[in-house]
Structure 1
């Protein structure tokens, strides 16, 4: 996040020299600190326009400010710094009012959309609460509860998600391989993304995991893609806790060329390097945090919003799911 110099600056200028528009999705995660850094780096990237906001590039923000705010920062509109001036420079607002995630003309779907609208605007009423409570553990049938056991679980905290993932991994009753990241020497790079690749990853057959890196966006191998582990392959003379050679994953949304003709949704995931760490870019995903779920669309989910409400937490969690029956 420091000012760029040398090769890093030259690389950025070369990458962006033909760029006229930059789209930033999930704008609610964008806080004053990050907005200032974007402005600063773009002024460096376009030195001929360094006296203009964002180096003269057009910025298009996409998202919903009623969702989760930035981590360890203020909401973008709550600043009292130079960033507030940058925020006020966005003068064109286009509101998209067609709901795609919760489509349907049934009475329950209409009621669900009304519920989400009221929660989003902090105007939920008693009948909204009662409608939501028809989908709790106390009201579902035994079969419905069983169906939801395998659904993705959304939690308010990392610790709650971790505990549920460990529980589900243990219930597989299959061997578990520990994958320890390779850690290289410290370099002079300004961008050390170590926090994105964990030091330790637990792997098991039939384990539900999530990609935590964009590997091949065009075919669906994106950060947040959820799949199942089918096979774990090691180089000769290596074994856990060494890094696997690759992990064969099954992604239902994969739409690229088949790696295995008999199983067209299977694809090998290799270890990658980010910052100083080399690791398979996977994490357990029977449970994830509500923060991690923002941007996902889910058929069904079991939701625990925790003990305290925070801005956008309940709305973001419940609005990930397509229908009330999927909660």
Structure 2
């Protein structure tokens, strides 16, 4: 690994002073010949938008005066990209949407922007438009709301549901082992919306966060739920690799994998996602619930997951007071 010179880290807003300090320590250990240099003498390149969600259980790097904050201030070259590629188009509606997002990003929410968003709520959308969003990805502020919506959608399929329980190393059970990447239990159903929770084949699009739909569940002869399936066929929208099924080129068989002390399918239900999990995703359509209270940049990150205003459904509505709460985020002045 001594040939490594550059380390690239995306979604830098998620990195806090604690994590960047751990990165520094680990790189000094990995490159002992340069352990007196920051990051073991490697060059760190950070990508992302500090206006998106901050670290979980930490503070933004730029707000710290600790060793982690010192490391952040050692980054002396900053390149700012000013052209927006995510929400393109010169139509008046698209220009207004970009301006709205810019105002949110700069913590300058306006009543006009809020009114524009409320034009995408149930009170103004036709019943036909509302029905289009029933199957859209729903974004929530809490894990509890995500779980509730996913289970509700699973039951609405009115199809057989297979329980799949992870295999645990001897001496450990699902109740006393937390392995976030692999679920302890999965509920599987044909037609179910799912998200990949591991990087399986990055070059083809089979990455952590890839969205797909379950097409088939296959078991070894004689085995039935809650045994692990032999494999599950998932249709991934953005898969670009070689064909497994020439008639369905986006279909890929997924087998159980091992991670830590658990073996299971790297899948999670994905009719609904937390806003944190959605950061970095581009959604064709989204129904959003930003919750009652704002954590730093929650509103901006949620609304910017779509490319245009017509791809957004606000449910439930929220007041301008809630919308403007972004101004009072703890580190907005930084």
Report the TM-score when normalising by structure 2. 0.90
**1:111 alignment counterpart:** 96
Q: 1:195 aligns with which of 159, 162, 180?
A: 180
> Secondary structure of 1:39's partner?
helix
Q: 2:51 aligns with which of 46, 66, 69?
A: 66
**2:84 alignment counterpart:** 99
Q: 1:264 aligns with which of 237, 246, 249?
A: 249
- Offset of residue 69 of structure 1: 0.5
Indicate whether 1:52 and 2:37 are aligned: yes
Structure 2 portions without partners, runs of 5+: 313-334
**1:285 alignment counterpart:** 270
**Distance (Å, rounded) in 1 between the aligned partners of 2:20 and 2:187:** 36
**1:125 alignment counterpart:** 110
Indicate whether 1:171 and 2:142 are aligned: no
- Offset of residue 185 of structure 1: 3.8
The aligned runs of 1:142-221 (5 Å cut-off) are: 142-185=127-170, 194-221=179-206
**Distance (Å, rounded) in 1 between the aligned partners of 2:178 and 2:35:** 27
Q: 2:218 aligns with which of 215, 226, 233?
A: 233
- Offset of residue 186 of structure 1: 7.0
- Offset of residue 324 of structure 1: 0.4
- Residues 213-263 of structure 1: CA deviation (Å, up to 9, x unaligned): 010000010111111100000111211001101000011211111101111
**Contact (CA 8 Å) 1:210, 1:225: kept in 2 or not?**
yes
Q: Matched residue pairs, number?
A: 308
**Distance (Å, rounded) in 2 between the aligned partners of 1:300 and 1:324:** 10
- Offset of residue 184 of structure 1: 1.0
- Residues 83-137 of structure 1: CA deviation (Å, up to 9, x unaligned): 1110110000000111111000100000000000001111011111111110011
**Contact (CA 8 Å) 1:305, 1:314: kept in 2 or not?**
yes
**Distance (Å, rounded) in 1 between the aligned partners of 2:297 and 2:79:** 21
- Offset of residue 299 of structure 1: 1.7
**Distance (Å, rounded) in 2 between the aligned partners of 1:137 and 1:126:** 19
- Residues 151-175 of structure 1: CA deviation (Å, up to 9, x unaligned): 0000000000110000100000000
- Offset of residue 138 of structure 1: 1.1
**1:294 alignment counterpart:** 279
**Distance (Å, rounded) in 2 between the aligned partners of 1:17 and 1:262:** 45
- Residues 48-71 of structure 1: CA deviation (Å, up to 9, x unaligned): 000000000000010011100111
**1:319 alignment counterpart:** 304
Report the TM-score when normalising by structure 1. 0.92
**1:90 alignment counterpart:** 75
Indicate whether 1:33 and 2:18 are aligned: yes
**Distance (Å, rounded) in 1 between the aligned partners of 2:127 and 2:211:** 27
- Offset of residue 193 of structure 1: 7.8
**Distance (Å, rounded) in 2 between the aligned partners of 1:31 and 1:238:** 46
**Distance (Å, rounded) in 2 between the aligned partners of 1:201 and 1:79:** 39
- Structure 1 runs (4+) greater than 6 angstroms displaced: none
> Secondary structure of 2:119's partner?
helix
Structure 1 portions without partners, runs of 5+: 1-15
